[in-house]
Amino acid sequence: MQNRIDKLFAQKKENVLSIFFTAGFPNLKDTTVILEALEQSEADLIEIGIPFSDPLADGPVIQQSSLTALENGMNLNLLFQQLKDIRITAKKPILLMGYLNSVMQFGIEKFYKQCAAVGVDGVILPDLPLEEFEMYHRRITEALNIKVIFLISADTRPERIRQLDEASGGFLYLLSSNSTTGGVNGVSDLLLSKVAAVKESVAKNPLLIGFGIKGQKEFSMACEIANGAIIGSAFIELLTRSHNFKKDIAEFTSIVKTKLIAS
Amino acid sequence: MKAVSKYGVSENGYYGSFGGAYIPEILYNNIEELKSKYLGISQSEKFNNEFSELLKNYVGRPTPLFFAKNLSEQYKTNIYLKREDLNHTGAHKINNAIGQILLAKELGKKRIIAETGAGQHGVATATVCALMGMECIVYMGETDVQRQAPNVARMKMLGAKVVSVHSGSKTLKDASNEAIRDWINNPENTYYLIGSVVGPHPYPDMVARFQSVISNEIKGQLKTILGKENPDYVIACVGGGSNAAGAFYHFLESEDVKLIGVEAAGKGIDSGHTAATLSVGSAGIIHGSKTILMQTADGQITEPYSISAGLDYPGIGPVHAYLNEVRRANYISITDTEALEAALNLTKKEGIIPALESAHALAALGKLQFKKEEIVILNLSGRGDKDLETYTNYLNELKYAKQN
Ligand SMILES: Cc1ncc(COP(=O)(O)O)c(C=O)c1O
* A169-217 residue pLDDT tens: 999 999 998 889 988 778 998 999 999 999 999 999 999 999 999 999 9
Residue B381 among the catalytic residues: yes
Q: What atom of ligand 1 comes closest to residue B196's alpha carbon?
A: 10
Contact B225, B191 (CB under 8 A): no
Ligand 1 pocket by Cβ (under 6 Å):
B 91, 93, 117-118, 120-121, 196, 237-243, 310-311, 355, 357-358, 381-382
DSSP letters for B237-275 = E-SSSHHHHHHHGGGTT-TTSEEEEEEEEET-TTTT---
* B176-191 residue pLDDT tens: 999 999 999 999 999 9
* B109-145 residue pLDDT tens: 999 999 999 899 999 999 999 999 999 999 999 989 9
User: Can you tell me the mean pLDDT for A33-43?
Assistant: 98
What is the CA(B171)–ligand 1 centre distance, in A?
Answer: 15
Q: What atom of ligand 1 comes closest to residue B241's alpha carbon?
A: 9
pLDDT over threshold 50, residue B2: no
| B203, B208, B280, B324 from B318: Cα distances, Å | 11, 11, 16, 10
Residue A263: predicted pLDDT: 43
| A238, B164, B166, B350 from B144: Cα distances, Å | 34, 9, 11, 30
| Residue range B62-90+212-403, CATH number | 3.40.50.1100
The answer, yes or no, to whether ipTM is higher than 0.85 is yes
Q: At what angle do helices A189-201 and A216-225 cross, to 10 degrees?
A: 30
Domain ranges in chain A? 15-257
pLDDT > 90 fraction of chain B, expressed in percent and rounded:
94
The model's confidence at residue A110, banded by pLDDT at 50, 70 and 90, is very high
Residue A186: predicted pLDDT: 84
All CATH 3.40.50.1100 domain ranges of chain B, comma separated, are 21-56+93-207, 62-90+212-403
* A112-135 residue pLDDT tens: 999 999 999 999 999 999 999 999
**Domain A15-257 - what CATH class?**
alpha beta
Dihedral pair phi/psi, residue B82, rounded to 5°? -85, 115
* The domain made up of B21-56+93-207 is a member of CATH 3.40.50.1100: yes
pTM of the predicted model as reported, rounded to 2 decimal places: 0.97
What does the mean pLDDT of chain B come to? Answer: 96
* B295-322 residue pLDDT tens: 999 999 999 999 998 999 999 999 999 9
Q: Residues of B with CB below 8 A from A156's CB? A: 25, 28-29
Sheet hosting strand B289-293, strand order edge to edge: B14-15, B18-19, B289-293, B282-286
User: Can you tell me the mean pLDDT for B346-368?
Assistant: 98
Residue B126: predicted pLDDT: 98
| Cβ-nearest to B24 among A57, A60, A102 | A57
